[in-house]
Structure 1
């Protein structure tokens, strides 16, 4: 289902509705309406309803970005208390609260069964469906004209919106369901940030050619990111290949585009979270100034974990036992024979001696002597999986915190 507070305000025009949106993304996630009562006001998919004289008290306990339905005209001071909230105001007597709530629930129900039903009703010439479809199109397509008077043209325009210009995660999920993508298929989320953010104007260029077959990918323009969902099973390619192909297409339009990809997945119900995973890959790439065509979350997983840990503790607290002893031992030692530098290289090359020797330009004898001395100083068992995991995390934390691994604590 795709429903925003602005669209809902149009559906409740009989109540002279007005929407005050502070968090645009949050206002597009409404699924149901319920009286606020004593509920914790923290569900982004809920529209919490209250009378005007209850607005201030509800606002004081509502989570930022929460959607509120106010029946009656509130005082200006009460409305100011809702600065971090989305508020839909209905100009109705408070005695009409139940009737207004019922009308709101009916308006939301129009969208609850997905947009295929709406498009079908439009094509049949249902006047109410046509009015709602026209309002939806005006909201999504901005200045583009809508075919309000022609049911077939309006339905075609609506279908084009659903399949080529997706504007909410829930609508994306509904569209995928309409296509019949299988739960056993494998998927990938790719996100990109483009400096001018002109995703809508780019869609016609980057979309694959329309065919009668079920498409292998769909595009979702967000406020700051463009999201692409790829059905890897239909596309018949691996996730790295698919991500690289999309990156090439985006870089042809903007050389400064940053592209990130999630891990492959089959859990379509968690689509939003894989989108956030791909977004995190982009953020990691930017933070590290990485020179890469596409940042894969799998390759940035430890960076992601380390960055979140660094929000609550300094990097030294993530060091495994013995690692700090090596750092302190090296203080004042010659950099040319640094054991810590060798250990960093050994970790970077996945604890494999052959690539480490090649990278360090030393003999195997020298390399094994250094490794023996590292074990002697630190007391670490470098073959232990837990120690290796902790060392990987420590080196990523050091890099992200900009602390030189050769400085003492």
Structure 2
């Protein structure tokens, strides 16, 4: 596919009026070659733009446009980034994609490490595949915040863990972002015996020195599937490992509060489950800066459920009536099972007539060491729930499905799974209010 290929021109737009057509390629704006969508956005903010294009026959032509400074030209590109997404050049010891089984959808095997997509979609990137000139371009375009997979600040250890000889300059690259006032959310994938203990303390100490740039740090456990043949030997955290991580995080939170006015570092929910400890209180997660990384998801859900019942419970009970009865099934992963069970028992107490059966789904597809709900497949759901459902409706968390789709990771659709189980399957968004309404069968 040609770089800068135009896929759509909005009727009535400045580009449309200028005679630009789908199939043409944008080459430059005001004499500047267009590298990606950020170049395009930056150079088209002027009130006068001169576009150099190439038509479908290979002929170059120029379109001059007078417009309002922030007016969109009305052009969409075949590649949303204009150029192709940047793949990963690391061979991380713990890479989850390397642990996928064969035969899955091709897109699942693409290793994204594109800093631009980090800004646009929140992906975590290692910064190993961009140089300092590119970093300064990100600063120029104010691409903030970005999410960075740090893992360790020990240069030699980072090169070893990422299996990339150029991975050791992470602090130098963070310094470029700090000087450019770019906000960073950092991630540490904790691999017991490698970047825990004194190495974790070193990493947190170094990152705390960057607190004017690094807004938050998450510590998440390594994820290991059963497909690790030929890969480096790693292990999951033990209870003792988890306790040590939580104690380290607590010490640095106290120090960060005194130094930077924020807790700064947060442990993933799984560490509290591994350690058998209670989750932190809602307020301790502050603004939940690492929610997408599994940090605080359970506490937030608990808070939202309780708040919704407190604020709307009376209205809901009145609308449901005294004769209300409902039985519903819920499926969740091993890690969250006890927590979801507790929430459902709370809902039964608050809404007499409600009966909820919570089912613990073991991950046979990826391996029993994978316990999160978001990696449950349709096949495991069907196999483990056949003949065990009490009701006509099964609730699942929306994150079991591919983003924006009704398909599980193993390509089984919700419709197929529902037909096999002879039940309605309802995906529930990550919202306490939506969870309560789904339990009650309330649509609004």
Q: Fold-level match, TM-score > 0.5?
A: no
Q: Which structure is richer in relative contact order (CA contacts within 8 A, separation 6 or more)?
A: 1
Please, what TM-score do these two structures have when normalized by structure 1? 0.29
**In proportion to residue count, which structure has more helix?**
1
**In proportion to residue count, which structure has more strand?**
2
- Larger Rg: 1 or 2? 1
